[in-house]
Structure 1
């Protein structure tokens, strides 16, 4: 398929704009570490539990499986795997994802902050 000059330029602009947009949305682990500061009031990144369970190695883990932590009945029934999609939904609105859980957090509305936070949590293992 032969492309004329204008079509070739339009294609290059589109590809460049798409790459720029993807870069602008890329996760920032350092920003995620900063976002974690709010979580640190209840959650540790070590093997020690706090008011909430340790988040060490949370990505890929099944919900309600941290040894020594007393989970709510709702969390025990949830049987979620903490992957990007599940964590994003939960961090957005914990009560909508697992009604009756005891985490006193209303959610994080900013999608970029959630993506950064999840990117950071992936590094903690």
Structure 2
């Protein structure tokens, strides 16, 4: 009986952690709404911003069909979660001279949620 109670307690303790990414990604979709004007619904890209679907793991300034700034082309960034979070916190600070007219997302929880959302865009 004691083993069953311990196992149940472990499952309950793990449940919120398992649910967090879904909630995080859901919040990320809300945060993404401010990106969609330039990057398109579901990250398909527009004349104003490159496609963000599949951005995680992609080299900066490498999506087809978009005219990138020289600064972004020289950045050498490969977009992983850490690079995205750092860029989203302060786009001009991370890549001085990039063309993205966006002040950044100060709230780390919102950035983390947005990165989780972007990781799910394929």
* TM-score, structure 1 normalization: 0.77
Task: Find the counterpart in structure 2 of residue 104 from structure 1.
Answer: 101
Answering whether residue 69 of structure 2 is matched by residue 72 of structure 1, we say yes
Task: Find the counterpart in structure 2 of residue 35 from structure 1.
Answer: 31
Task: Find the counterpart in structure 1 of residue 82 from structure 2.
Answer: 85
Note the residue ranges of structure 1 that are not aligned, 5 or more in a row: 1-18
Structure with greater proportional helix content: 2
Aligned residues: 105
Tell me, in whole angstroms, the C-alpha distance in 1 between the residues paired with 2:118 and 2:99: 21
Mark the structure with the bigger radius of gyration.
1
CA shift, 1:50, in A, is 3.4
* TM-score, structure 2 normalization: 0.79
Deviations 1:24-68 (A, max 9, x none): xx4411000010000001002354433110101001100000111
